[in-house]
A and B are shown apart, each in its own frame.
Chain A
């Protein structure tokens, strides 16, 4: 009875088990790399006017006076207890920083991806079905523009036009204008939390703030998705099974969406996974321009001041996120294409 789901569950567990060495590796590497960063955090955080004694006090307080190997075991011990440490630069625990900032970044990235998929996939399909037409050219122009304009530039242009000149966009000062209160925290995604509270005023406020940064990021992520959709659709449309389907007299619609698109989706999903990862990275600049309190700017600031705990926490959170993402993508493969199974491995 449980047989259909059982192998899949086992496969998922196997996958999760396979990711454990990856995470261990990430923990070791992130620890060593942060220690290799130039600069002495104790000196930095003691402040410019501090004397030798107070620097030493800070060093002891940070645990940096101990040998490296001992620091590592303390770090791992804390990790196992779920303690990511204390960020010195933000003054908060790393766990609470991540819990505050990761949803902000994810909300922005996911909104941007949904937006860009909503444009890129239809555009790619249209371009593939009518190669050489104006749609194809439009697709090409959009893709070239999107990939060649850096996000901070697009962001500033959008602010200049829609906020500064036209005045239709809200002030680019973060996730919510100061006149609103944060919705009660459930997921950390303002749109979801506000909707859960039924507070549509705040929902509208959060959505308005999201529009420009999401468009900025969407423009950037449009290119690979549209290109990949177009290429995959072209390949699929020229394959034998499509010719057979057409010869069998199936409707154009059925051929296009039932057979060609479904087959073309595999590379698109793969690309989507990659795009998601680099979009989270590219976020940094968008976050800076729109004052978005996300994870990218947090990590960069932590890196600049050698805030070890924050950098390690960030790297670890990202690693876990990608392990989860890869798992989801692998599972999606099996849903889209039943020929791909875990059992073959």
Chain B
């Protein structure tokens, strides 16, 4: 979207009152009133197309706000106040209804007949088919995420008629329908996209990068990369309840101190993704509402790499787990935001994950385990942290280093630049002792285990391998949670993982959002802004 073009739209759409005031090019006072929300964030949106290579995480919010998926998740009360998406409830977005065949291999979706794109054209099954083919074909993260739901190839998608869309799976999976509600499989106006596709660019990546073409609740009014994104409500939206805000301005303010001043003064209605420290302090204020939602299926962990010889000794791993100063870390690194993951019962009776482990800080026990181990005199080990996440990793590492010294383990902190981290920690998996923060979008324990405890998978940065865990994950990953075998299997894998400790859970981090003059905030697993339910108060 070029600047001049969007300006014209802006004047045309939002400023009916402006024509009366020929000299005032500023928005009329009414526009600043109850229907415009201003939200500040420290992150930069670098593309309006999630499927494009190089699109960063903050940009996913465009896929959420401007595009629709077939289905979405419901809403529930969040722990720690506010609302949260509800993984267990699937609600319609563009699909009116859907059926799953008896063998679980064929999913048939009936589209809402009144659903239209912003240009007025009808949303058809062809659009859905094209969009899904795009998501599985472009490679990179979108295709990886599609694969998690069992969507691998374009030939799995079929448009039966204008309003009926069908997916054929290779095998039934409980992850398939939830994976259609994540931001990736969003539905694009394929007529517009194809008109702007070229031979080199069959998926119209260049065009959709700057010009969204969707049917979602908001249109992009203007986008100045590095500055702001302005959403304008799509009054014809049929995907859900019409947003209360006519216009939402997402302004990028890099300095957390400035963001804090803005939200405290009430000049902006929401500050998205604030540091834990600010969240703890702002929560004390009367007029600012702070939502600190523990991020589902996510843990901050201390990982012990099995390729490092001392960590092959079970007693050493337990000694480390008992030496970690959990509460100090939770207070110093997270300012008490999130959820503790220590000091629980050893016996596991439910499938909740992340869960409190049976470990807590106990230096005597740690010393006992060290004495029993093959390394009673301790050893030297590098403790690696990601400089890009230094705000929690650095204090955490220092506290761990201090306590490890008390049981004879001499840890030296190794700081790795953010650009190198992935290669060192996740691809080469060569970091002996390190901090890690994987979180799974699909909220089932087996999905977490698939990524973090199965040999060779990306987030298993400890090179962990346990034949029983491999078999259990294989068996449960696509099994419906209602299956009688599901809960025992999941409990068994948790028991093994917490006994073997390739990852020592520290705490469950929180996503912090401060609101001052807005309501309706809802937490999402993708940790980006969903502007649709927000309203000014």
Contacts and interface: CB of A to CB of B under 8 A. Distances in A.
Are A and B physically bound partners? yes
Contact of B25 (A167, A172, A181): A181
A178 B249 contact: yes
A168 B453 CA distance: 56
Contact of A164 (B44, B56, B264): B264
B258 A291 contact: yes
Contacts of B141: 46-50, 54
Nearest to A56: B139
A291 B426 CA distance: 33
B208 to A, nearest CB: 12
B226 A298 contact: yes
7 nearest CB pairs, A to B = A39-B419, A47-B141, A291-B253, A91-B46, A45-B54, A54-B140, A54-B139
Contacts of B168: none
Interface stretch (B26-34, B63-71, B115-123, B347-355): B26-34
Interface residues of B, number: 59
Contacts of A178: 38, 228, 230, 249, 251
Given A50-B141, A167-B265, A43 B46 contact: no
Contacts of B265: 163-164, 167, 171
B89 interface: no
A338 interface: no
Contacts of A58: 53-54, 140
A174 B38 CA distance: 14
Nearest to B226: A293
A143 B27 CA distance: 42
B173 interface: no
A289 B256 CA distance: 8
A38 B261 contact: no
Given A291-B251, A293-B224, A40 B419 contact: yes
Contacts of B209: 91
Interface string B245-270: 00001011111011001101101100
A156 B141 CA distance: 39
B417 interface: yes
B52 interface: yes
Contacts of B52: 91
B146 to A, nearest CB: 11
A61 B140 CA distance: 12
B458 interface: yes
Interface string B46-62: 11000011111000000
Given A54-B139, A180-B26, A289 B53 contact: no
Nearest to A41: B419
Contacts of B139: 53-54, 57
Nearest to A45: B54
Interface stretch (A113-121, A199-207, A318-326): A199-207
Contacts of A179: 26-27, 31-32
Given A171-B268, A288-B255, A43 B423 contact: yes
Contacts of B53: 45-46, 57-58, 61
Interface string B219-252: 0000011111010000000000000000001011
Given A91-B52, A181-B26, A289-B255, 5 more contacts: A49-B458, A91-B209, A172-B262, A289-B258, A304-B388
19 contacts: A40-B419, A41-B419, A46-B53, A48-B426, A48-B458, A58-B54, A90-B46, A100-B224, A172-B262, A173-B251, A173-B258, A173-B262, A174-B228, A179-B27, A180-B25, A181-B27, A182-B224, A291-B254, A297-B254
A70 B64 CA distance: 41
A205 to B, nearest CB: 7
B56 A89 contact: yes
Interface string A112-137: 00000000000000000000000000
A150 to B, nearest CB: 13
Interface string B271-296: 00000000000000000000000000
Contacts of B11: 181
B196 to A, nearest CB: 17
A58 B139 CA distance: 9
Interface string B1-21: 001100100110000000000
B497 interface: no
Contacts of B24: 201
A88 interface: yes
Nearest to B56: A89
B143 interface: yes
B40 interface: yes
A18 interface: no
A61 B206 CA distance: 13
A261 interface: no
B166 interface: no
A305 interface: yes
A181 B10 contact: yes
Interface in B423-458: 423, 426-427, 458
A199 B23 CA distance: 7
Interface string A190-211: 0000000001011001000000
Nearest to A183: B25
A160 interface: yes
A257 interface: no
A131 B4 CA distance: 56
B140 A50 contact: yes
A156 B257 CA distance: 7
Nearest to B438: A48
B25 A163 contact: no
Contacts of B32: 179
Nearest to A199: B25
Contact of A293 (B10, B227, B420): B227
B144 interface: yes
B4 to A, nearest CB: 8
A278 interface: no
